[in-house]
Amino acid sequence: MEDKKTAILIENLDKVYKLYDKPVDRIKEAFGFGRHKRHSEHFALHGVDLQVAQGETVGIIGTNGSGKSTILKIITGVLSPSAGKVEVNGRISALLELGAGFNMEYTGIENIYLNGTMMGFSEEEINAKMQDILDFADIGDFVHQPCKTYSSGMFVRLAFAVAINIEPEILIVDEALSVGDVFFQSKCYHKFEEFKAMGKTILFVSHDLSSISKYCDRVVLLNKGRKLGEGSPKEMIDIYKRVLVGQYDLPDENDNTNMLDENHADSQEPRNLDSTKAADTLEYGTKQAEITEFYMQDESGVRTNALIKGSTFSIHMKVKFYETINAPIFAFTIKNVKGVEITGTNTMFERAFLEPVAAGETKEIVFTQKIDLQGGEYLLSLGVTGYEGEEFKAYHRLYDVLDITVISDKNTVGFYDMNTTVTVSDVKEDSNIIPYKANA
């Protein structure tokens, strides 16, 4: 960072909110009734340091309530810090709450001028950008209608188009790259890549770990208002996955240990992933056998629901048998969020286990495979079934019991990546071949 100027500098940043048990306590404290404090303090941010160099793309990740959006609002001036130092060098365009500055009674055109003026642009500068904004939003003649008549999709398209086409020196993005249909999203990401190529500074908050991995040079991990560490996307995403499933002891309030410190990381004792079924899990079966525990592990042996595309992972389940079963079949299925079955297998297909199991026994089944699914969200279902004579029996089935996040920096068409190898070579033209010409 020595060779580049600092675009954003934050030192020892605090944001504190006063919480009151009753509304009247706020009034009593404001007027000084009584000597004791009537509120408790909630630190949305506490002691956070952050430095972003010009031209750098930095991602911020963390669980809900970790302070990600709060820090962006302080940087953009929407919120004031309770303590600490904040310096911003450069014109900012922020994609925080899309359309927050829009007047719903105004037309799209009027709102473009309104927002451009609020960002400090002259009418001439807005006129110069108008066609780019209209082309990007692509909402047709609706741009001349009041925004209150827009669909939610049209509204966010216009809001995004206004913010992204201002071409600021610093772009602040908070979960705003997934608006609109797939074609508009593609346009948004293309513009994002243009910004990176132009050397713009980007601060990017998202739960989409694939986008964080693909676009960010560096990632900062927040949790409960504190910065737990910063480093490469791969390092921080790996630690974030452990935080998500409660497999990482978080430092106490007075511990400034970076989570990337090897000694701190090695001291963590593994904990079991909670295999409690999701609230909307469909469960049924005869219960002659029961799935009592289930989890997934990545190739490092960490229990997690987030997997790096192309890596090896394993699905584990324990099954307790209450009756003797001649030939149980253990299975898993992976579906997309729309319920389409993408893939799956079972021990009968794999010819992996064709033995009887006695009552009272417990078996642990491990399916190990490579994850070549495209980046995105999926659902895992588990089952133990079998045949009693000619009759098929479902002893225990759990549908949509775990969600799977596949993190990818390269997606292809469809559900799977075929890991294609591509070659392109020159072909010498044959002078004897007559080019084809269509009939007039």
Residue pLDDT, tens place only, 292-311: 999 999 999 999 999 999 99
Instruction: Report yes or no on 368 lying in a domain.
Output: yes
Residues 36 and 183 in one domain: yes
Q: State the pLDDT at residue 155.
A: 84
DSSP 399: E
Ordered DSSP codes for 161-223: HHHHTT--SEEEEES-TT-SSHHHHHHHHHHHHHHHHTT-EEEEE-S-HHHHHHH-SEEEEEE
Q: State the pLDDT at residue 12.
A: 94
Single residue among 240, 273, 290 that ends a domain in this structure: 240
How many Å apart are CA 386 and CA 126, to the nearest integer? 68
Tell me the average pLDDT across 84-92.
91
User: 107-134: per-residue pLDDT in tens?
Assistant: 999 989 988 887 778 888 899 999 999 9
Q: State the pLDDT at residue 279.
A: 46
SS3 readout for 243-273: HHCCCCCCCCCCCCCCCCCHHHHHCCCCCCC
Q: State the pLDDT at residue 267.
A: 36
Residues 72 and 197 in one domain: yes
Instruction: Report yes or no on 369 lying in a domain.
Output: yes
Instruction: Report yes or no on 292 lying in a domain.
Output: yes
How many Å apart are CA 192 and CA 200, to the nearest integer? 10
Residues 294 and 190 in one domain: no
Q: State the pLDDT at residue 92.
A: 85
Single residue among 208, 240, 272 that ends a domain in this structure: 240
- Work out the pLDDT band at 412, boundaries 50, 70, 90: confident
Residues 185 and 67 in one domain: yes
Tell me the average pLDDT across 59-87.
90
Residues 223 and 344 in one domain: no
How many independent structural domains does the chain possess? Answer: 2
Residues 216 and 310 in one domain: no
Tell me the average pLDDT across 63-77.
89
Instruction: Report yes or no on 403 lying in a domain.
Output: yes
Q: What is the mean pLDDT of the chain?
A: 83
Q: Which of 343, 342, 316 is nearest to 330 (CA)?
A: 316
Q: Which CATH number does the domain housing residue 82 bear?
A: 3.40.50.300
**CA dist 7 → 88, 199, 200, 219 (Å):** 6, 12, 10, 16
Mode of pairing for the β-strands spanning 170-174 and 201-205: parallel
- 417 or 274, which is more confident: 417
Q: Tokens 């909110």 appear where?
A: 17
How many Å apart are CA 378 and CA 332, to the nearest integer? 13
Q: State the pLDDT at residue 23.
A: 77
Instruction: Report yes or no on 310 lying in a domain.
Output: yes
Residues 286 and 210 in one domain: no
User: 237-266: per-residue pLDDT in tens?
Assistant: 878 877 876 656 666 555 545 545 544 444
Instruction: Report yes or no on 85 lying in a domain.
Output: yes
Q: Which CATH number does the domain housing residue 398 bear?
A: 2.70.50.60
Single residue among 206, 240, 274 that ends a domain in this structure: 240
- Work out the pLDDT band at 96, boundaries 50, 70, 90: confident
Q: Which of 415, 319, 333 is nearest to 361 (CA)?
A: 319
Most confident of 205-214, 238-247, 310-319: 310-319
Instruction: Report yes or no on 133 lying in a domain.
Output: no
Residue 40 has pLDDT above 80, yes or no: no
Percent of the chain with pLDDT over 90: 40
Q: Which of 136, 138, 147 is nearest to 109 (CA)?
A: 147
DSSP 234: H
Tell me the average pLDDT across 170-186.
72
Residues 289 and 387 in one domain: yes
Q: Tokens 């292809």 appear where?
A: 412
Tell me the average pLDDT across 130-139.
90
Give me the domain span that covers residue 389.
Answer: 282-407
Q: Would you state the torsion angle of the CA atoms of residues 83, 89, 260, 210, taken in this order, to the nearest 10 degrees?
A: 120
Burial of 383 (0-12, 13-18, 19+ CB in 10 A): buried
The answer to whether 188 and 179 have CB atoms below 8 angstroms apart is: yes
Instruction: Report yes or no on 434 lying in a domain.
Output: no
Residues 402 and 297 in one domain: yes
Q: State the pLDDT at residue 145.
A: 92
Residues 348 and 200 in one domain: no
Residues 227 and 295 in one domain: no
How many Å apart are CA 20 and CA 201, to the nearest integer? 39
- The pTM is what? 0.68
Residues 318 and 193 in one domain: no
